[in-house]
Structure 1
Amino acid sequence: MNVSCDTLSGCPGRYCGRLSNGDGMCQSLCRACPLGHQITTLNDICTPCNQDADLRDYMFFVFMVLLTLSGHLVILAVEAIKGLKTRLSIIITACSCIMECIIAAILTLLLFEPYGDVVIKSCGAKQVSDFYPIFYNPIPDFVHELNCVSEVVHPLYSFVFVFLGFSLLFLVLFRGVASYLMRWCFRKKLINRASIFYSLIWIPFVVLFHAIFAGLIYFSFDYLSLIAGTIVFAIISVVAQKETEESSYHHDEVKFKFAFKLWKNPLYLSFGVMCTLFTMTGILSLTDEIDSNTLRLQLLPVAITPFVTFPLLSTFANPDHYLTAWGSRPRGYNGPLS
């Protein structure tokens, strides 16, 4: 039944609305808003989301892409540590992981309105509960529940699932074809099937993680990006330094040798780039409220701070200097104390 929108009162619940015919007439029945609509009026009328997605929405999507890619690289690193992969296999698999995520991300953005454009429309998210409308269905008569479940934050919830679906498809396609071609060209198995199997498990895990914690992630991913980028880079730097422990600890002229090792090893290089991208994502999302693009560009160099500070400060973290000062012998040193 259609009545004048001005004569209607608000709908029960937080996410129930009415559909408008566009001529000042609305349906009297309260229900869930259609996909791509949100409640913006006092009469709880569902209106289309015509605003372009803001920077934070894009950075949230980039964060989920980087999270997915990071899982693939961690699996690749574990396989490399076990000695199950050659250098060529690592490079091929790492390139495949990157291409899978990039192509999946681009196709995902092109599939949302406006179709064929990476600039998408977004309803935005104002609070964590916007991601979980299923928990806010009203019960007007205290007996029957009024179903008002819809994607209130469209497409912030759904485009991650679409991306992960494409990632799963391209994982099977790219790595399956790459594994076959490498075995046909080099007459040996270069891509270990275990890494493909673990990656097939990783993507459903990310799907479950996003389905449950999407709201919490959206309002905290900027801080998580900064923390993750710094900690992961510290870990890979320590690992790289440990591999050059003798030279970096006992020869000051090569104390930066491990820093060059970060760029020589394809896994270390990939993780270093990932840490930088995570940090940039956090910085850009935190500066979403700033209107000055110049200030954003001035803050981006902060993302490379770990690359500069860790080599400079690593010498002070050498325990051998303090052991010598306290009268103890450094590790592996049997000579006289200076």
Structure 2
Amino acid sequence: MFSRTLLCVSLSLVALPSLADTVWLKNGDRLTGKISLLDGGKLLIETEYGGSIPVKWSQVATLESNQQLLIKQDDFTGEVAKSMQAADDGTVVLNNGGAAHTVKLASISQIIRPKPLVHDLTWKGNVDVSLDYKRAETDTDDYDVSFKNSARHGLWRHNATANYNREYRNDVTSTDNWDAEYALDRFLDEHWFWQGRLEYKRDKIEDVRRQRTVGTGPGYQFWDNELGAFSLATLFNRSDYEFASGNKEDFYSLAMKWNYNRYLVGKTFELFSNGEIGKPLENVADYQLDAEVGLRYKVTDWASLNMKAEKDIVSGAESNKDETRYSVGFGVGW
């Protein structure tokens, strides 16, 4: 029994390398790991010995993989290959379940791992921190921390975000606010989902001191893959405002939320934007906008530099709010 177990373990260890993807370069080098994606002329390979390694697509001679990959030759032509086999330099053999055929590497513009309806746990998120110290006629200290987290299991997706902003001018607090949101998505199929969310905002300086929002509505996931994700949700909200004067307002509104991110140049850069624009159903305010857009530069597998712009508007309310913030900072992701 012991010898049989030892034999099985030995065979498993011998078979492990064959499960890895292999990339041959034109200079004769060979890389083994797991192909993550091809985009922007960079092939990203996940390795145990060097993390994620970007390789210039023009330097790849051929490659092989046993994983299922979406191969795109242009914006309209693409196929899901069950495996890729090495071929002559500058070519690769695609096997999609039918007759295998050879294509030129130069004709391939993208390689993406297909992401079907998720049946296991996936978890991703990031924390961004920015600090700004300015010493001049007006001394300014600015602190900005943001947290974003998303976890999905089967047909359910949990989304949590939080932000904290504080600014001092000549040792006097000029900005002091924080907000938190939790949203739960229930997917109806691969794209459509229904969302319920809770949000709370607290501001100790601006006229809108407290804001509480409860909402629900349908959403649509346009895509969610190795290159990024984009979703829209239309919500019916109930909001409660409390102003610095002590007055309170509660009203219903219709809103649209978006969540977008796109990786560029082999995941070296990430363009992202998320926010919400809403229109009250009563004559309380003209509209509300809370949005951010930014860019991250990946320094390591987990660390990044970021810069972003945030806009927060409440127009037509008892006391209008129009605030714009710009920040540059450091972040970690997972």
Q: Which has the higher strand share?
A: 2
Q: TM-score range by the shorter chain?
A: under 0.3
Which structure is richer in relative contact order (CA contacts within 8 A, separation 6 or more)?
Answer: 1
Q: Which has the higher helix share?
A: 1
Larger radius of gyration: 1
TM-score between both structures, scaled by the size of structure 1: 0.23
TM-score between both structures, scaled by the size of structure 2: 0.23
